[in-house]
Amino acid sequence: MTTPITVLLAAVEPSGDALGASLYRVLKERLPDNTNFIGCGGIAMEAAGFSSAFSTDAFSVIGLTGFLKAIPEGMKRAREIGELAASNHADIGVYIDGWAFSWRAARYTKLYSPNTLTVKYATPQVWASRPKRVERVREHFDSVLTLLPFEPAWFEAAGVRAEFVGNPNFQSVYEQNMDGVNFIQQHGLQDKKILIVLPGSRKSEVSQLAPVLNETISKLVTKHPDLAVIIPPAPSVRYFVKELFAPSKDQITYIEPEERFSAFKAATAAIAASGTVTTELAIAGTPMIVAYKTDALTALWAKSVVTTDYVTILNNAAGREVIPEYLQEDCTTEMVLPAIEALLSDEVERTRQKAAFGKLLEELEIDQAPAAEKAADAVLELLRSNGRLNADGD
């Protein structure tokens, strides 16, 4: 009987949790039945059957202020991950997204369990800020798996084994059956323009955006009675969103998560917080503006480290502002309201955005083999090349 393989998966943020859930399912199918899975994850990984060593709720934060508050818990849990790897003689550890936690957990893993292979899945965006993080990646990780096709070159230049596997979140949206016509019929919106509002997936970012968006929604609906405002709240902040948007509750229709992509397809336009959702909207062909703000300390820190001109991936890929961005001091009702009114009424501008989306999305190589499958391939190959797994998977 062969010695069981032990695989450590570590994800502490919602984005990493989603990546981890998909990877866990594929690895569980491909590895022997006696494989031991350990580590930490959130609700998505637990729903997939993964048992987390501790709750990751404390890490659902954003910005410098939230990060600073989470430091004590992060240090404690990162050490626990290293100890867990050592006590279970982990063959490989995959540290998913959440850079600040991941590199610390990998450092403790190498300290306590030096024979454990370490993989960074979803790399820090060194092309956008703090390029010297490549050095820390080289120090703590044996391999990296990137979500964007232009990222491996940044790490390979520093001697790090790197592979582009794709972004499963984007691929999932790409494969969705988006039925905008049925969504309109089900919700009785045949005579309405539809505005999707996406205030974020973390409490800290929703808190910052809610005042501006509440006022914007109120003024929009008053001036445009043919407008329907739809919010598909992220599950992680569902009740928090409803609480903060209580002033606009009579002007908002909330929908379930499974309806969101059909809502995107049906929408005339969207207001979105920065993040993955902007690319999801682009895949659905939804014209948008980005509204985003954070606390003053985080904003000051961001200005000191960010090296790109834009916050959205598509704008950076284009090298121009395809999607209008209203950030920090520009994220006010006085700026956001006329911008979204113009987009709602200007068919030419909406068409221009959609055309740009098509060209830019091709560059992200979304239409390829599933990312979780490619990530699993890379993990298994690393195990084989280091003698931890036979060619036949045993």
pLDDT band at 67 (very low <50, low <70, confident <90, very high): low
The predicted structure's pLDDT at residue 356: 92
Confidence check: pLDDT of 66 > 80: no
Q: Matching CATH topology for 6-166+368-385 and 173-363?
A: yes
Which of 22-26, 86-90, 148-152 has the lowest average pLDDT? 148-152
The predicted structure's pLDDT at residue 295: 67
Structural contact between residues 45 and 20, judged by C-beta atoms closer than 8 angstroms: yes
Confidence check: pLDDT of 84 > 50: yes
CA-based torsion, 125, 128, 133, 135: positive or negative: positive
DSSP collapsed to 3 states, 361-384: HHHCCCCCCCHHHHHHHHHHHHHH
Confidence check: pLDDT of 36 > 70: yes
pTM of the model: 0.72
Residue 206, CA distances (Å) to 198, 209, 251, 272 in order: 9, 5, 18, 11
The predicted structure's pLDDT at residue 62: 52
Confidence check: pLDDT of 377 > 90: yes
Looking at domain 173-363, which CATH architecture does it have? Answer: 3-Layer(aba) Sandwich (3.40)
The predicted structure's pLDDT at residue 353: 94
For the domain made up of 6-166+368-385, the CATH class stated in words is alpha beta
pLDDT band at 64 (very low <50, low <70, confident <90, very high): very low
Which of 57-61, 103-107, 143-147 has the lowest average pLDDT? 57-61
Domain residue spans of the chain? 6-166+368-385, 173-363
